[in-house]
């Protein structure tokens, strides 16, 4: 098991990204079942004006680009901090086999990253969440979904 080597690489990326002023102190890598690092990332939110550029998202996008696939089957994601809900959602869509993390959400909260707040919001009923949310034009929206269901040349994911 090379888990230590890989998680330390993710932590190293966190430090490098922070010291380069790319963004917050977070790093992540994707490792395939041969032990090869197929994607790397560090947080780049503030340097690229992209609130989605968390380390895990950057690493997933990098790995998928490198292997020309939108799935990371049989891969492990090593991340220097427990994924926030956005990143955890991204991980579920990318479908790696395993997650290894170093710091947890409480450590993140201690330095001002409020992942825990988002973890609490997501399971709430829509009308109890902090961001006001309305549903509109469902019938028009569902028409497109029906077209998708009937579409013969679609690529499912």
- Looking at residues 11 to 30 of the shown chain, list those that interact with its own copies (rule: CB under 8 A): 11, 14-15, 18, 21, 23-25
- Per CB under 8 A, 73 contacts its own copies: no
**Binder of its own copies out of 34, 125, 152, 153 (CB under 8 A):** 153
Nearest to 17 by CA among 38, 37, 39, 45: 45
**Binder of its own copies out of 28, 34, 61, 128 (CB under 8 A):** 61
**Binder of its own copies out of 125, 127, 151, 152 (CB under 8 A):** 151
**Binder of its own copies out of 2, 46, 73, 74 (CB under 8 A):** 46
What are the residues facing 31 on neighbouring strands?
37, 76
Cα–Cα distance for residue pair 55/25, rounded to 1 Å: 9
102-137 per-residue burial string, b: 16 or more CB within 10 A, e: under 16: bbebeebeeeebebbeeeeeeeeeeeeeeeeeeeee
Catalytic residues: 56
- Per CB under 8 A, 37 contacts its own copies: no
Cα–Cα distance for residue pair 85/48, rounded to 1 Å: 21
Q: Are 127 and 133 in contact (CB under 8 A)?
A: yes
- Looking at residues 101 to 130 of the shown chain, list those that interact with its own copies (rule: CB under 8 A): 101-104, 107-108, 110-112, 117-119, 121-123, 126
- Per CB under 8 A, 8 contacts its own copies: yes
């Amino acid at each position: 098991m090379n888990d230590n080597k890989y998680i330390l690489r993710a932590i190293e990326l966190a430090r490098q990204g922070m010291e380069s002023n790319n963004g917050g102190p977070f790093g992540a890598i994707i490792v395939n079942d041969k032990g090869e690092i197929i994607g790397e990332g560090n947080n780049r939110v503030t340097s690229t004006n992209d609130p989605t550029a968390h380390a895990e998202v950057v690493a997933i996008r990098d790995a998928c680009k490198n292997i020309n696939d939108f799935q990371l089957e049989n891969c492990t994601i090593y991340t220097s901090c427990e994924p926030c809900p956005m990143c955890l959602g991204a991980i579920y869509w990318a479908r790696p086999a395993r997650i290894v993390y170093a710091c947890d959400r409480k450590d993140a909260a201690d330095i001002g990253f409020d992942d825990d707040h988002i973890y609490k919001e997501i399971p709430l009923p829509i009308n109890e969440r902090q961001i006001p949310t309305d549903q509109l034009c469902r019938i028009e929206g569902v028409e497109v979904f029906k077209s998708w269901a009937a579409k013969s040349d679609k690529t499912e994911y």
